[in-house]
Structures are given as C-alpha cells and as structure tokens.
Amino acid sequence: MSRLDYLLLTAVALLAALVGLGAHEMRPPAQHAVAAGVAAGVAAGIAAPAETTVASVGGAVNRRAATLDRREVRRRLQLGEAGTYIGDLLAEHDSSLARWPERSGRPLRVWVQPASPVRHWRPEFVDAVREAFTSWEGSGIPVHFAFVLDSASADVHVSWIDRFREPISGKTLWARDDRWWIVEGDITLAVHHNEGDPLDLSAMRAIALHEVGHLIGLDHTPDTTTIMTPRVRVRELSEADRATARLLYALPPGQVR
C-alpha cells in the first residue's frame, strides 16, 4: 500500500468515527423514574360528617403521560362538565386532577383481605367490595380490575378494622407521581361505626362504592344524591357519579386551570 493510499484510508476512518459520535450524541436521553410521592384522601362513611385531607410530597415523572394544550383541556372540560361534579374535584385539589393511567389491557390488581377476626365481620363483605369495584368499572372508565389472592402482587389493598376513632367508616390512601398519575392505593373499611354499631351488608357495599370512588380519583361533592357526598345516603352510583368519572378519565392528570 502506498503512503497516499494509507493517508486516504486513515482520513475515511476518522470521518466515519466522527459521524458515529455525532449520531450517538443526538439520541434522546434515557427516561428514568424517581421515587413516588404520597397523596392521601380520607373519606367519610355513611351518616358521618365530612372529613377529607389531601397531602403530597415529591413525586415521579411519568414521561408517557398524555399531554394536551391547556386550552384544549379547558374546552373539553367546558363541554363535558354539565351533569358532573368535576368542579368540586378541582376545588379540592387546587385545580388539579389525579387519576390512574388507562388500564384496560392490564387491569389493576386488587387484593381484598379474605377474612378478619373482627367481631361481626362477614364473608359477604368481600363480595360487596368486589361488586363496588365492578360497578365503577361498568361506569365507562378505561380502567379494569382483577382480584388477586397474593397481596404482594397487588396494586390496591383492601383491609378491615373494627372501627375508626373519627366518625368515619372508610379511609382511602393513594400515591401519585409528579404528573398526578395515581400509582398505588389502599382502602381500609370499618366493620363498626365509630360508636360501635355493626354495619350491615348494604351499608358496607355503599361505603365500598364511596371509597373506590376516592381510589379512582374522585372527591367529595355536596350533591346528596351521589355516592361521593360526605354523608353517604344512597346505595348505588348515580348518573352524576358515572359522568364525573368518565370526564375525569377523558382529561389528562395535573393542573387544569
């Protein structure tokens, strides 16, 4: 090989290396998640005074979040808010909405404590809780639920206690990331009112409906005809409950206004 040929080959090799380096530097950065923050919702039970607290700390960035122009979000909100209590949610959460990502193809795994030593606990309560999840799933939201026997594999845990010290019958805690996607949740249900009276099966199902409403991102409304009123007086989801859930899941999470 002549000296000229050697110099030409060296130049080509250097050019190829520079092109390769440039291509590597133009790749998008890897997507990483950090530790999730915590948000808590405390729901009032049947015939109990209203009590709701919400707190959040830190959070993870979910880069797969659906993004919409805020004007488009407000337009969708304006078109869909009639017949809903979405405004009460926004008032409770500083004009922000929290919800689960779409989970139609990959259902949320729900573990319901299968037995309890609490006096007056009944095995039928497990079925009542499962019916509550099924009712919300049937409202038209893009979230399905699957009941699992292994608590370690669950996204949502439902457990029993004797009673709360506060005048409530259920409590829901959920964690969210910084984009307001809910990532996990826990529901605790009391077998007795805080004054000691046992809850019957109908009341337990109504409380479970209320708490699952909190779990999917809903909050209290003064409308006493809905399951999400602080002092629950109904036993089934109202059309306003269903419409509010559908609108919530038609919008991206996060600040709306």
Sorting pLDDT into bands at 50, 70 and 90, what band is 34? very low
Tens digit of each residue's pLDDT (9 = 90 or more) over 84-98 = 999 999 999 899 999
Q: How confident is the model at residue 104 (pLDDT cuts 50, 70, 90)?
A: confident
Half-sphere exposure of 230 (CA within 13 A, CB side): 13
pLDDT given for residue 60 in this prediction: 37
β-pair type (143-147, 170-176): unpaired
| C-alpha span between 127 and 114 (Å, rounded) | 10
- Which pLDDT value is given to residue 67? 56
pLDDT tens digits along 191-216 = 999 999 999 999 999 999 999 999 99
Q: At what angle do helices 70-80 and 239-248 cross, to 10 degrees?
A: 170
pLDDT for residue 68 = 65
What is the structure's pLDDT at 113? 98
Predicted pLDDT of residue 106: 93
Q: What is the pLDDT of residue 205?
A: 98
Q: How far apart are CA 242 and CA 162, in angstroms?
A: 31
Q: Higher pLDDT residue, 82 or 55? A: 82
d(CA 99, CA 249): 7
Domain covering 39-255 assigned CATH 3.40.390.10 in the classification = yes
Structure-model confidence comparison of residues 255 and 234, the more confident one: 234
Q: Classify residue 113 by burial, with Cβ atoms within 10 Å: 0-12, 13-18, 19+.
A: middle
Q: Looking up tokens 């960035």, which residue turns up?
A: 61
Q: Nearest CA to 156 among 168, 143, 141?
A: 143
Percent of the chain with pLDDT over 70: 74
Q: Are 247 and 80 in contact (CB under 8 A)?
A: yes
Residue 41's pLDDT is what? 36
User: Cα 99 to chain center, whole Å?
Assistant: 4
Mean pLDDT within 178-203: 96
Sequence ranges of the domains in the chain: 39-255
pLDDT at 75: 87
User: CA 156, CA 70: separation in Å to the nearest integer?
Assistant: 31
Percentage of the chain beyond pLDDT 90 is 66
Kindly tell me if the per-residue pLDDT of 57 is higher than 50.
Answer: no
- Span 106-156, pLDDT tens digits: 999 999 999 999 999 999 999 999 999 999 999 999 999 999 999 999 999
Mean per-residue pLDDT, 173-200: 96
Both structure tokens of 207 = 């409380």
pLDDT digits (tens, 9 = 90+) for 6-23: 444 444 444 444 333 333
* Interatomic CA distance for residues 111 and 222, integer angstroms: 31
Strands 96-97 and 254-255: antiparallel
Place of tokens 């979040």: 65
| pLDDT above 60 for 189 | yes
What residues are paired with 66 via a beta bridge? none
